[in-house]
Amino acid sequence: MHKVVYPLTLVLLCLSEPIALRTCSVILQPVSGIQGTSDMVGLLDYVQRLIGIPEDMSSDPAARGVMGIPQPQRKPGGLLGVSEELPDNIVSQISSYIDSNFPASQYPAARAAMLGTIVSEAGEDMKFDQEQRSGGPGYGLFQMERPHYRRYVTTPKGREKIYSRLNPTEAEKARGFKPYLDTVGARYNKFLENNKLQDSAQSQIRFMSDKIKKNKQVMEAFKSSDPSKAIDALTGQIIKPRAYLNRSTRQAELNRRRRAAGRF
């Protein structure tokens, strides 16, 4: 017989261990406004709607951003949780910006690697002003970290955990959230100022291209005809997402990004 859990219990469980609920095998008792178990959208979806947890709080580490903050929410369906078809005009426009920095004749893998990274970071719309959800500091095509606040906590096992907030409350500041200003986003702002540029997709790609050109390993990978090799180098040397830095999820993250690059 399936165990029955009432909504209040689910709320308490979700508040304490929201991610653990993803693997819970308990089946809900039908309640008012929710259809029978055969039509239920799943335990987590129900709890999310019940207490308002953002839908992008994924239990998959590869879908989470820097410092464990969720990445921008993708639309359902397809590779990486996005639709298989991207707007042709957006792809063409961004491709032209990439080609102006890395001509395809010299760097055949650059376009696929950079487009795959942009889709992985910013989502299918490829918006240059895409903000990271749930208060995270990520911004733009490459989800560059803006200046924000951090709190450092040492676990009982001696490991350091970092918690990030873009706009912490006064209570959070009192608990130890301090300004963290040395970020890629801060350097991007300085780049715009020095070059008298406006924030745009073209500016972001130019800024990122300048960083890439200083990295010999990525430049060599871009010269190859292998998009997987190119996006591996870009991910490990420049982007460095949390899921890559965590050795237990590194391979899954690389595979996810390789599939994205393979679309282009």
pLDDT tens-digit readout, 39-94:
433 444 444 444 443 333 333 333 333 333 333 433 332 223 333 445 568 999 99
User: Residue 160: what pLDDT?
Assistant: 87
User: Residue 8: what pLDDT?
Assistant: 43
User: Residue 54: what pLDDT?
Assistant: 39
Residues 106 and 213 in one domain: yes
User: Residue 136: what pLDDT?
Assistant: 84
Domain containing 111 equals 61-147+183-262
Residues 191 and 102 in one domain: yes
User: Residue 118: what pLDDT?
Assistant: 97
Angle at 231 between CA 228 and CA 235, to 5 degrees: 135
Nearest by Cα to 208 from 154, 255, 144, 155: 144
User: Residue 74: what pLDDT?
Assistant: 37
Tokens representing residue 85 in the block? 């078809």
Residues 38 and 67 in one domain: no
User: Residue 92: what pLDDT?
Assistant: 94
Is residue 159 one of the residues assigned to a domain?
A: no
User: Residue 133: what pLDDT?
Assistant: 72
User: Residue 86: what pLDDT?
Assistant: 57
Q: 115: number of CA atoms within 13 Å, CB side?
A: 26
Residues 41 and 23 in one domain: yes
Other Cβ atoms less than 10 A from the Cβ of 84: the count is 10
User: Residue 211: what pLDDT?
Assistant: 97
Residues 27 and 140 in one domain: no
Question: What is the rounded distance in angstroms from the CA atom of residue 165 to the CA atom of residue 50?
Answer: 25
Q: Is 150 helix (H, G, I), strand (E, B) or coil?
A: strand
**Residue that the structure tokens 């450092």 belong to:** 152
User: Residue 88: what pLDDT?
Assistant: 66
Is residue 194 one of the residues assigned to a domain?
A: yes
* Residue ranges in the chain modelled with pLDDT below 50: 1-85
**Backbone dihedral angles phi then psi of residue 177, each to the nearest 5 degrees:** -75, 120
**Residue that the structure tokens 């819970």 belong to:** 24
Residues 78 and 142 in one domain: yes
| Packed helices 184-195 and 201-213: angle between N→C axes, nearest 10 degrees | 110
Beta-bridge partner residues of 144: 139
Residues 17 and 143 in one domain: no
Q: Are 256 and 80 in contact (CB under 8 A)?
A: yes
User: Residue 173: what pLDDT?
Assistant: 95
Global model pTM greater than 0.75: no
Q: Is 211 helix (H, G, I), strand (E, B) or coil?
A: helix
User: Residue 87: what pLDDT?
Assistant: 58
